[in-house]
Amino acid sequence: MNTHQRFTLTQSQKMMVFILSMSLYGLSNMITELIPKFYLGPIELSVEYFAFIPLSLAMIFHPLYAAIGASLGEVIFGEIMLGQFGGIGELEKFIAFSLAIFIAGVSVRNPENKKQVALGAMVGVILHQFISMSVDILKVWVGVEELEAVEGLAESVVVIEGLAFLNDVLFSGILFALLPTLYLVPRLYGKIEPLLGMKPRKNDLQLGLSDIVTVPFVLATVVLGSLSFLFEYLSETTFGWEWEAPLVDRFGEWIVFPMMAIPVIVALVVVSYLVKRKGRKDTDGYSEVV
Amino acid sequence: MDVVKTLTDKLSIEQVKIELLNTAYGYHHTFLQRLDPRTLFLWYLVFGVVPFFIHSTPVLIGLAAFLVVLTIMAKVSPLIIFILTLGLLTQGGSYLIVGLFFGGNVTAMLPLLKLTLKLSVISMASIVVFCSMSPEKLSDGLLKIGVPGQVSFSIGYAYRMLPTLVEEYHHIFLSYRLRGKKPAKKGLFYSRHLFYYIKLLIKSFYPLMLSVAKRSRTMVEALESKGSLYGFNHPKVKQLKLQHLTIKRRDVLFFSLSISYFIALIWLS
């Protein structure tokens, strides 16, 4: 245990990983914003993001700090500096992306094992795209008042977002996450760590994969699932009768939505807390060997 | 032929660099810029969130009109407005087309239009607020409302490092081009050339990663020697740093007037 303790990341090393991930992914984000898109019919051939940067950093260094740094880099370079910061909407992206990269990084136990690296990269991309797809679908389902009244809208949203999901996973996922990560991780492993004054992550010391990957993963799916259920359930019931002010009478439904925002916020807070706690356990324990 | 020509023109990083720096560092002096960041955050909390839960068309139209005025006042760059409208239109349009395919009819248009209106109100609110904050103001404001010091440091760091990073990346990219060779065959629609360039873009990150790693180590060590890592979240340091933030009369006026407009709208409809 003592020897493991010695390899635990210090505060400033975490900061180094954070800054490294932030500036690199931020820069790449600016570049991808500028690369033009191509359309082959409904299929969009675009460079969605250079996911390989945070993915390979999360596999080589501490997954949590690499993930959060990358998300922050995206917000700063890609949004604030280009003047397109979306406020609260960015929070969802931030959480989804951090979670996906974190899980991808944690699931790779041995950066020299190509199979694990490939699997981790794909897991990260699929998870991220899945979360953003679900959020997009929910946005329309909640934002449009009488969804059932409009024939075909509910299905069409699912179809469009589903197509975009497949497109992103298959095109961006393979070309810009899987292949570059496979190219970079073995090259960087053992080379980049000394530059930050760390030792490479060791192969023989492994994270307890089963209990780390599943908890946030299951939690995220459960949260997402219950959220969609909640939205559906609440839209059926009317809370309007409890309120007698003429204002609310008139806008009976919207009173429901702030109420629904509460579980959403609670869920997000819980997820981020858990992720953080997991990350901390990760360093306090014996897993992060640097 | 021309496709790749224009593409390489676009990829001429020199041009892109100038564009980027213009967007990142060019700020206008507007009325909204003089407001306190906290006022803007609070205002955004109201106008960026509440509209999502409003289903009444007149209220949404009134809000949209108000926000258009503010957007004009904020002197938002035309490019951003263009991107915003394009995004809203294409998204709404594609839903409509597929909706028709699934047996809907043109009445599908109305709720969709409403949704588009709602989303544009929300995006305008965020554009108005965040375009009228300079980076220092944004990071100070975030620090004030309790966001960790690391975040506001990162914003400052990003603004400082952007030109250096872009310069370095460009150098690496150029050296890869110098040593490499473009594929002799163009391929279908210049796809070979395209893939060649994209491959270079990706490969260029490898040396960059190493040099940025070195640089971030230097950075953190400098921070350490100044005690910044300790000072980031120290209340006294924060107090000293954020002394200049004060709520003035124009803040109160702006906030109360816009809120009363909002309430009046709901009342009237």
As a whole number of angstroms, the distance between CA A171 and CA A48 comes to 9
Q: Quick check: A54 contacting B, CB < 8 Å?
A: no
Across the interface, do A26 and B158 touch by the CB < 8 Å criterion? Answer: yes
Q: Is the dihedral of CA A18, A21, A27, A33 positive or negative?
A: negative
Residues 92-131 of A with CB under 8 A from B: none
In the three-class reduction of DSSP (H, G, I as helix; E, B as strand; rest coil), residue B263 is classed as helix
Residue in A24, A80, A153 nearest the CB of B212: A24
CA atoms within 13 A on the CB side of A238: 9
Beta strands in B67-109 (DSSP E): none
Q: What is the mean pLDDT of chain A?
A: 72
pTM of the model: 0.73
Q: Quick check: B95 contacting A, CB < 8 Å?
A: yes
What value, to the nearest 5°, has the Cα angle with vertex B81 and ends A133 and A131? 10
Q: How far is A127 from chain B (nearest CA, A)?
A: 23
Chain B CB contacts of A183 below 8 Å: 202-203
Burial of A249 (0-12, 13-18, 19+ CB in 10 A): exposed
Average pLDDT in the B112-141 region? Answer: 81
Across the interface, do A257 and B125 touch by the CB < 8 Å criterion? Answer: no
Q: How far is A75 from chain B (nearest CA, A)?
A: 9
Q: Give per-residue pLDDT as tens, A182-208.
A: 999 999 998 999 998 888 876 544 454
Q: Find where tokens 């931020």 sit.
A: A26
pLDDT of residue B207: 94
The larger pLDDT score, comparing residue A280 to residue A32, is at: A32
Statement: residue B168 has pLDDT above 90: yes
Tokens matching residue B170: 């460009």
What value, to the nearest 5°, has the Cα angle with vertex A82 and ends A131 and A53? 50
Average pLDDT in the A33-62 region? Answer: 77
Across the interface, do B155 and A89 touch by the CB < 8 Å criterion? Answer: no
In chain A the domains, ranked by start, together with CATH numbers, are: 2-284 (1.10.1760.20)
Chain B CB contacts of A150 below 8 Å: 99, 104, 107-108, 111-112
pLDDT > 90: what percent of chain A?
Answer: 20
Residues 42-61 of B with CB under 8 A from A: 44, 48-49, 52-56
Q: Quick check: B90 contacting A, CB < 8 Å?
A: no
Q: How far is B102 from chain A (nearest CA, A)?
A: 5
Average pLDDT in the B123-152 region? Answer: 83
Q: How far is B240 from chain A (nearest CA, A)?
A: 24
Q: Give per-residue pLDDT as tens, A244-277.
A: 333 334 444 444 444 445 556 666 666 666 555 5
Task: Return phi, psi of residue B204, to 5°.
Answer: -60, -20
* Of A209-223, B8-22, B166-180, B190-204, minimum mean pLDDT range: A209-223
Residues 207-266 of B with CB under 8 A from A: 208-210, 212-214, 216-217, 219-221, 223-224, 229, 266
Q: Quick check: A137 contacting B, CB < 8 Å?
A: no
Q: Nearest CA to A89 among A145, A139, A156, A28?
A: A139
Contact at 8 Å (CB) between B53 and B107?
no
